[in-house]
Structure 1
Amino acid sequence: MSKLASTLESEDQLSVLMARQPIFSKSQDVVAFELLFRGQADGNLQAIKDDIATFDVVMNTYANIVADEGSKRLPCYLKITDKVLLNDSLPDLPPSLFSLEILGRSDITPEFIAKVKECAQKGYRIVLADYDPQDPKFDLLLNVIHVLKLDIQRLGLSELPNIIHKLRPHQLDLLADKVETKDEFRQCLEMGFSLYQGYFLSHPMPVKGKKISSNKVLLLQLLGELEQDSATGASLEGIAINDPALTYKILKVVNSAAFNVPREINSLSHAITLLGMEQIRRWIMLFLTTAQDGKPNQLTRNMLIRGRMCELLAELMGNANSMNYFIVGLLSQLDALFDIDMKELLNEVPLSHELKDALLHFSGPMGETLKDVENYERGQFEQLSASVDRPLYEVAYRHSLKWSEQVMNALLS
């Protein structure tokens, strides 16, 4: 077992599986996270407060994000059931960092409404999910809550303008939930939603004839050279010299705390001497996946999380070529980054057939691991393959979140 795998297995293993799903503003900045738990059981909420390790993880990892202005802590949405609310079993969590999400299937009695008002008076923002405009039981809640989730897939985009018009007097923050495509995001933006949740960032909007930008082409040329047995530091520098600014940026990031190099690196050939071809390949991959103009940082962040988690799971499974798992996870949303169809895009990326099949068809061990990581990040814990012990998925995810923020900090500095 590798040193990294041993470290991961010795980490504190939490009693719950957790993931986080971003909530976006109109400008596609992340403004909050919804916390996803295995089974959403009531006990998971208590674990956040009663289990010091779990509470620390939520505060220091799941709620943290690196943005252009540095690190900051974002509020988390917590789903709560009637039982938690009515039995006074809600943990005493800081209202500035937690919003309470009540569910549409709740039995909305006068007692329930009174408890919701009590939570609002304590400073909690109240979110209502599963809203049905045809069901009058929700009417009494509309003057109590702060954020209203509208499931755009269930309600239908064509019906939303009328629903929004009727809701306007309540002056709520409307959250468009299950936004799956960029076109749906655009339509919801035009309707006036202030918050957005869903996987629209993961899907490309292919533009016919679109080309990869010149500095990304140079990175692909560097990758192509790295695939050659004859590649040397000098041959890589011969390509990189065509874009000195990019070369400087690569060296700046490699010298950052994200890699903990023993001494300053001042050239690509020097970097290769100290780090080796595989690590240089990793960093060129990272630069290939940094955001294009107009693309939100969250897309790059998620690519980093996927890449690192695939790599960590490979290490835990004892796989010798964990770097290839990293590449598969990292590049799995390259089509969304470039708005170019994945099959067309991979024709320009120098990768083995095994890696390309994993990206296109989830085939082979790398493809299966990528599917596991996708299921984890969506909170679909019941669909995990159990390639490793279940608590280790959360450990790998947690480490991936931390690592991604460290790299984002280097990339944005």
Structure 2
Amino acid sequence: MEILVTSLDSILDGDHQLDVLMARQPIYSKNQDVVAFELLFRGDDPHAMSPQKDEVATFDVVMNTYASVVGDGGEQRLPFYLKVTDKVLLSGTLPALPPALFALELLGRSNVTPELAAALQEKAKEGYKIVLADYDPNDVRLQPLLNIAHVVKLDIQALGMARLPEVIQKLRPHNLDLLADKVETKEEFRQCLEMGFSLYQGFFLSRPEPIKGKRIAGNKVLLLQLLTELDRETATGASLEQIAVNDPALTYKILKVVNSAAFKVPREVESLSHAITLLGLDQIRRWILLFLTTGVNGSPTELTRNMLIRGRMCELIAELSGYQGAMNYFMVGLLSQLDALFDIEMAELLEQVPLNSEVKNALLHYTGSLGDTLRDVENYERGQFDLLMARIPRSYYEVAYRHSLNWSDTVIKALRG
């Protein structure tokens, strides 16, 4: 345990440990921009916010990291959707959270009573946005709440796509924002867009729309050539530069990033061979992988961000678990959504990407410690905390996740120059 604590301090710079596990899930606009996050707690227990609010330093960490995001408009703070039940609202235990940064999402298992409606009405007067989740048009108990809520969340999988137009028509007189929940494919997103939904939640950005025979194109091919060369035992700065010379703009961009705040190099790096001397082949491989996963056909920033978070968190968990070859864990996490980025089936895509069989099998079949770590990270980001293998202390998952959120923003800033 002492070794783990030392490792954690050195990797994560002694980040403050919280008493709860948390993750965030993005809520998108029609343009696939992130406009809010749903805040997930271990067991979705809103009471967990109470000790966080009492400890000001911890609450600030939560707000400054989980709410912070770097987008096209620069760095900004986005609001949270916080799940609550009738018991929480009526018990008086909900902390006094800032209304501008928190929307209250009432869960469908709540007992709807006149007292609950009055409590929601009071929260709405205080400035909170009220979100009605798990909406069932056949549940007459929910009808009075439609005059209080600002947003209604529709589980499109439970309701079924064919039934949605009828449900939307019934909700129209209430002038509500409609949130399509559990949008799993880009085709479902397009259908919901046509139906008039204004908000979207789900993993549709992570799913590819395979185009048969499609291949990686443009300067991505050059990056693959660099990766192939890096895998050779005889790789040198000179051999890499011989490939990179075919795209001077890419070489310039790589060096610009290496010289940015993302790296703490002692002096300006002037060439790839110079960068390798200072940073080593693994760090150069890391950044070539990052360039491979960014700037593809206008792909949403959130997909790139999630790839970065996964890569870094897989790497940190590997190091905290004492696994060798942490760079392979970074690659597995980072490339786990490469199929969605390029719209190429993963099996077909991996035929074009030079990776060892252990990494490929982890991406395709979740095999070995690489696959186990990837599955752990995917479960964490979805808020499925009970499925964690817990090979490290559970609180370390949250610290690694929070660090990865910050790291991804640093990388996005560096990639944008």
Contact persistence 2:347–2:364 (CA under 8 A): yes
Q: Distance in 2 between matches of 1:366 and 1:6?
A: 23
Match of 1:163 in 2: 167
Please say if 1:20 is aligned against 2:28.
Answer: no
Identity of aligned residues (%): 68
Q: Secondary structure at the match of 1:138?
A: helix
Please say if 1:401 is aligned against 2:398.
Answer: no
Q: Distance in 2 between matches of 1:5 and 1:97?
A: 31
Matches within 5 A, 1:299-338: 299-338=303-342
Match of 2:74 in 1: 70
Match of 2:92 in 1: 88
Q: Secondary structure at the match of 2:285?
A: helix
Match of 1:145 in 2: 149
Match of 1:6 in 2: 9
Please say if 1:281 is aligned against 2:296.
Answer: no
AA in 1 matched with 2:308: L
Match of 1:384 in 2: 388
Q: Secondary structure at the match of 1:36?
A: strand
Contact persistence 2:46–2:82 (CA under 8 A): no
AA in 1 matched with 2:305: R
197, 203, 214: which one pairs with 2:201?
A: 197
Contact persistence 2:151–2:176 (CA under 8 A): yes
Q: Distance in 2 between matches of 1:19 and 1:275?
A: 32
Q: CA deviation at 1:10?
A: 4.6
Q: CA deviation at 1:269?
A: 1.2
AA in 1 matched with 2:9: S
Contact persistence 1:177–1:196 (CA under 8 A): yes
Contact persistence 2:27–2:37 (CA under 8 A): yes
Q: Distance in 1 between matches of 2:178 and 2:58?
A: 30
- TM-score for the superposition, normalised by structure 2: 0.97
Q: Distance in 2 between matches of 1:223 and 1:153?
A: 41
AA in 2 matched with 1:130: D
Q: Distance in 2 between matches of 1:242 and 1:334?
A: 24
Please say if 1:55 is aligned against 2:68.
Answer: no
Contact persistence 1:77–1:98 (CA under 8 A): yes
Q: Secondary structure at the match of 1:65?
A: strand
Q: Distance in 2 between matches of 1:12 and 1:216?
A: 39
Q: Distance in 1 between matches of 2:369 and 2:231?
A: 22
Instruction: Show CA shifts across 1:115-146 (max 9, x none).
Output: 10110111111111010001111111111111
Q: Distance in 1 between matches of 2:171 and 2:252?
A: 52
Contact persistence 1:85–1:112 (CA under 8 A): yes
Match of 1:36 in 2: 40
Q: Distance in 1 between matches of 2:416 and 2:155?
A: 34
Please say if 1:297 is aligned against 2:301.
Answer: yes
345, 351, 360: which one pairs with 1:356?
A: 360
Q: Distance in 2 between matches of 1:320 and 1:294?
A: 36
Contact persistence 2:137–2:167 (CA under 8 A): yes
Q: Distance in 2 between matches of 1:103 and 1:43?
A: 14
Contact persistence 1:101–1:126 (CA under 8 A): yes
Q: CA deviation at 1:43?
A: 2.4
225, 238, 242: which one pairs with 2:242?
A: 238
Please say if 1:179 is aligned against 2:186.
Answer: no
Q: Secondary structure at the match of 1:142?
A: helix
Instruction: Show CA shifts across 1:358-383 (max 9, x none).
Output: 11100000110000000000000000
263, 271, 287: which one pairs with 1:267?
A: 271
Match of 2:227 in 1: 223
Q: Distance in 2 between matches of 1:241 and 1:68?
A: 30
Match of 1:250 in 2: 254
Q: Distance in 1 between matches of 2:26 and 2:57?
A: 23
Q: Distance in 2 between matches of 1:53 and 1:380?
A: 26
Q: Secondary structure at the match of 1:252?
A: helix
Match of 2:108 in 1: 104
Contact persistence 1:9–1:392 (CA under 8 A): no
Contact persistence 1:14–1:53 (CA under 8 A): no
Q: Distance in 2 between matches of 1:357 and 1:275?
A: 29
Instruction: Show CA shifts across 1:30-76 (max 9, x none).
Output: 10000000012242121231132431222111000001221100001
Q: CA deviation at 1:9?
A: 9.0
In the alignment of these two chains, the number of paired residues is: 413
Q: CA deviation at 1:11?
A: 3.5
Contact persistence 1:77–1:100 (CA under 8 A): yes
Q: Which moved more, 1:258-267 or 1:107-116?
A: 258-267
Q: CA deviation at 1:4?
A: 4.8
Q: Distance in 2 between matches of 1:48 and 1:77?
A: 16
Q: CA deviation at 1:107?
A: 1.5
Q: Distance in 2 between matches of 1:94 and 1:48?
A: 14
- TM-score for the superposition, normalised by structure 1: 0.98
Q: Distance in 2 between matches of 1:279 and 1:15?
A: 33
Q: Distance in 1 between matches of 2:224 and 2:375?
A: 25
Runs of 4+ in structure 1 off by over 6 angstroms are none
Q: CA deviation at 1:251?
A: 1.0
Instruction: Show CA shifts across 1:181-222 (max 9, x none).
Output: 111111111111100000111110001122212111110000
Q: Secondary structure at the match of 2:105?
A: strand
Q: Distance in 2 between matches of 1:264 and 1:314?
A: 31
